[in-house]
Amino acid sequence: MTTPSLETRDLTIRFGGHVAVNRVSAAFRPGELTAIVGPNGAGKTTYFNLISGQLAASSGQVLKDGTDLTGMAPSTRARHGIGRAFQLTNLFPALSVLENIRLAVQARAGEGWRILRPVGRFGHLTEAAERFLEATRLTHLAHQPAAALPHGDQRKLEVALLMAMEPDIYMFDEPTAGMSLDHAPDVLDLIATIKTDPAKTVLLVEHKMDVIRALADRIIVLHNGELLADGPPAEIMDSQVVRDVYLGTATEETA
Ligand SMILES: Nc1ncnc2c1ncn2[C@@H]1O[C@H](COP(=O)(O)OP(=O)(O)OP(=O)(O)O)[C@@H](O)[C@H]1O
């Protein structure tokens, strides 16, 4: 089995007396997409926040390729290859779609996020940005201001920005939430494409069972902040304890 790219060890956070994530230990490997599921309030988003650094752990560790990231800021974790899709936070709304992606490519290339650059001197960055535009099927919108895009295309742009940062770990939290039926397949196709790269590790918080069935190599179930189950999709979906706490009701709600 390949070495884990990402690992959490006894990862825990308390909010006052409430333990939102309770000693969660899990290892994630390159070439694997893990769906993280669980009922509302199970701790999925909090677990993501602990991995990407938006929240500081009360105890436990987050390791990336064996390096302890636990005390690091989100930006430092990003430099270590943790990539999380966020709605619009990294976007420059007045700049074009292409310029936004070019800036992400530039940041990845170590050139920083400076906007005022003579474009001609960075032709190679623009070419790279155009490749990500094509990959995400946004080429026809290249010169639109990011803020003018409809919601579904903005979500695609977020994925394009994430891809342009070339992280080792991709983290998606309900990537098709609030999306129309015509846009959701595009974003899911992108995630499926990312997953074909054997060097990438993908974590996906998701409620929709059809999405999980289509994409997951493995499922982790959180319940009351604890890791309840971890295994191949068929095994997890068949397990009685999991059906009782989550899948049984969730299938009815979402299938
Ligand atoms: N900043 C916070 N302060 C206090 N409690 C919090 C905070 N963030 C999360 N919680 C609590 O931690 C628990 C886990 O929340 P979290 O959002 O991680 O669940 P979730 O599994 O992502 O749920 P959902 O599927 O509804 O998004 C909840 O009880 C929530 O109220």
ipTM: 0.96
User: Is residue 247 scored above 70 in pLDDT?
Assistant: no
Whether the CB of 44 sits within 6 Å of ligand 1: yes
Using a 10 angstrom Cβ sphere, with 0-12 exposed, 13-18 middle and 19 or more buried, the burial of residue 240 is exposed
- Ligand 1 atom nearest the C-alpha of 47 is 18
- Ligand 1 atom nearest the C-alpha of 225 is 14
- Ligand 1 atom nearest the C-alpha of 174 is 27
Q: Which residues are CB-neighbours of 39 under 8 A, at least 6 positions away?
A: 223, 245, 246, 249, 250
Whether the CB of 46 sits within 6 Å of ligand 1: yes
Whether the CB of 40 sits within 6 Å of ligand 1: yes
Atom 16 in ligand 1: residue holding the nearest Cα: 43
Q: How many Cβ atoms are within 10 Å of 115's Cβ, its own excluded? A: 12
pLDDT tens profile 84-143: 986 556 678 899 999 999 988 888 876 555 555 555 556 778 888 999 999 889 999 999
Atom 8 in ligand 1: residue holding the nearest Cα: 46
User: Is residue 192 scored above 50 in pLDDT?
Assistant: yes
Contact 232, 35 (CB under 8 A): no
User: Is residue 251 scored above 60 in pLDDT?
Assistant: no
Atom 2 in ligand 1: residue holding the nearest Cα: 15
pTM attached to this predicted model: 0.89
| CATH number of the 1-81+167-255 domain | 3.40.50.300
User: Is residue 255 scored above 50 in pLDDT?
Assistant: no
Round the average pLDDT of the chain to a whole number and report it: 88
Residue boundaries of the structural domains of the chain? 1-81+167-255, 87-166
Pairing between β-strand 67-68 and β-strand 59-64 as defined by DSSP bridges: antiparallel
